[in-house]
Amino acid sequence: MAVLPVLTWGDPRLKKNSEDVGAWTPELEQLVADMFETALDEEGVGLAAPQVGVNLNLAVIDCSCGEDPSQKLILINPEIVREEGSQVGPEGCLSIPGIREVLERPQKVAIRNRAKDGSWHELEGEDLLARAFCHEIDHLRGRLFVEYFGPVKRQVIQRRYQKQARG
């Protein structure tokens, strides 16, 4: 397994709509292993393939941050099918390191997800997992969480991020 470089805010590859994953291959298996390793190394809950420069509808989530292997989820061509309720809390992004902002997301989310064998099933998540589903699927659609804010707030966040990035 390898830790992959994570693209940061401003990289045009983060703005692309991802392409669907086709047949599962050993290369995709390796990419997923590397993505889990990268998320863990960066202390993140999830990571989408576009964040490591791969334009595929593929993401990984581990709400246990490496503590419980049974919580590792692979999202393949996921789609949100239901949302319920609302939660307000801090959110960050490995592509915008050091920035956390309070954002409203659904409390519960159900997604349609493809398995490695090509079959489809539904996954449900609430609280942190619901937030992670929304956040990672946004990445697959070329959207960063800061885009939920108005232009003035987004500009303030961007200035803070750029100042921090310069050291």
Q: Which residues are catalytic?
A: 136
Rg, C-alpha atoms of the chain: 15
- Tokens 């393949």 belong to which residue? 76
Burial of 18 by CB count in 10 Å (0-12 exposed, 13-18 middle, 19+ buried)? buried
What angle (nearest 5°) sits at the alpha carbon of residue 40, between those of residues 64 and 32? 95
> Residue 42 and residue 46: Cα distance in Å, rounded?
10
Q: Is 121 annotated as a binding residue?
A: no
Q: Is 139 annotated as a binding residue?
A: yes
> Residue 132 and residue 41: Cα distance in Å, rounded?
17
Nearest to 111 by CA among 73, 146, 144, 148: 73
Number of neighbouring beta carbons within 10 Å of residue 50? 26
Reading the block at residue 28, the tokens are 């995709």
Sequence ranges of the binding site for Fe cation:
93, 135, 139
Sequence ranges of the binding site:
93, 135, 139
